[in-house]
Structure 1
Amino acid sequence: MEAVRWLLAAAGVEFEEIFLETKEQYEKLIKDGVLMFQQVPLVEIDGMKMVQTRAILSYIAGKYNLYGNDLKERALIDMYVEGITDMMQTILMFPFSPPEAKEKNLDSVKERATNRYFPVFEKAFKIRMSNVPTIKKFLQPGSPRKPPPDECYIETVQKILKI
């Protein structure tokens, strides 16, 4: 969901988040047919209940004219998005690693991020993006950015999603 938060911030859109707190909430969404693939995130926008991060991002980017001016710009945006997705998948799964594998997994996450992803994002991209006024505001304390997962969050996610 973090990529969606960032894109909404870039578009200057205020949003409200509702977090699942119980397994029953999650199961109700599945039972009601809201979670097409039985997974979150879920974004309600323009009367739609959207799942799948890539579809959500494409919709929001298109709606707020943030998806490039031509096919070449869209392809470049897609490459960055897919790179971020790959990196985030690696990072987001780390807290759910078994305790005995954490050190090895942490080394792997650091190596991939440092050598594969960070160099791409550091080449002017970070500076340019952090100076966009709506993103600059999003980066300030008190914004709707999600903090890194703590033990309580990890335990809740594991309980709800049966991880």
Structure 2
Amino acid sequence: MAAKPVLYYFDGRGKMESVRWLLAAAGVEFEEVFLETREQYEKLLQSGVLMFQQVPMVEIDGMKLVQTRAILNYIAGKYNLYGKDLKERALIDMYVEGLADLYELIMMNVVQPADKKEEHLANALDKAANRYFPVFEKVLKDHGHDFLVGNKLSRADVTLLETILVVEECKPDALAKFPLLQSFKARISSTPNIKKFLQPGSQRKPRLQEKDIPNLMAIFH
């Protein structure tokens, strides 16, 4: 039996959270090594396994993969979450990259200066409501299937659900004007692997809080 993937990161969301989501959606059990001290991180750096001296890193299939997109592409391809052909893959990539822009906007709010936080978040939520969510409402309408691409679960669906939930943490009624996205959220959330990941006690991480930032800076800077 193949060893479980091992994820090297801090005990929080950041760039690793999408990796956790994708592995969970694929029904793959994984282990985590949390970097909790600067010494731990420096030891990893000195070992030479971090190609660009950065985490996340995922140990899988005898490889030590770095760079978040590369990690996600590998997992999606390995576990059949990357479409059936190049055209489907191109759509999946396009949707995922668009969502990554929105996700990063929301996630970066925690590190904004106190006097800029409210404005930054308002801007991010405005873009969710007026630029990003309308796109996916239309995709679901035009495609006419339960999923964004083809007629089976792909990493695009997983990424969209993850992003919806992150936006809803900041604005619970974010989907009020998007009935197809509401149905999509309910449908994808109820698939067995994802439903399990959404339960308390899973490896899903809570929102990063401002109080966590000094500790992360001490480890990684």
Question: What TM-score do you get using the length of structure 1 for normalisation?
Answer: 0.88
C-alpha distance in 2 between matches for 1:117 and 1:109 = 10
Residue segments in structure 2 that go unaligned for 5+ positions in a row: 1-15, 137-159, 161-177
Identify which of 88, 91, 98 aligns with 1:76.
Answer: 91
Question: What TM-score do you get using the length of structure 2 for normalisation?
Answer: 0.67
Identify which of 175, 181, 201 aligns with 1:142.
Answer: 201
CA change 1:25–1:152 in 2 (3 A) is farther
Q: Is the partner of 1:99 in helix, strand or coil?
A: coil
Deviation at 1:158, TM superposition (A): 1.9
Counting helix residues as a fraction of each chain, which structure ranks higher? 1
Aligned residues: 162
C-alpha distance in 1 between matches for 2:93 and 2:130 = 20
Higher relative contact order (CA 8 A, sep 6+): 1
Identify which of 100, 108, 130 aligns with 2:115.
Answer: 100
Deviation at 1:132, TM superposition (A): 2.3
Superposition CA RMSD, Å: 1.9
1:158 corresponds to 2:217: yes
User: Once the two structures are superposed, what CA deviation does each residue of 1:24-72 show, in whole Å capped at 9, x if it has no partner?
Assistant: 2222222222222222211111121111111111111111111111112
- Which residue in the other structure is 2:68 paired with? 53
Choose 83-92 or 116-125, whichever is displaced more: 116-125
User: Once the two structures are superposed, what CA deviation does each residue of 1:73-95 show, in whole Å capped at 9, x if it has no partner?
Assistant: 21121122212211222122211
C-alpha distance in 2 between matches for 1:5 and 1:110 = 24
Counterpart mapping for 1:1-163 below 5 A: 1-119=16-134, 120=136, 121=160, 123-124=180-181, 125-162=184-221
Which letter maps to 2:88?
E
User: Once the two structures are superposed, what CA deviation does each residue of 1:72-130 show, in whole Å capped at 9, x if it has no partner?
Assistant: 22112112221221122212221111223222212222222222223325645434422
C-alpha distance in 1 between matches for 2:93 and 2:185 = 17
Task: Kindly report structure 1 stretches of 4+ aligned residues shifted beyond 3 Å.
Answer: 121-125
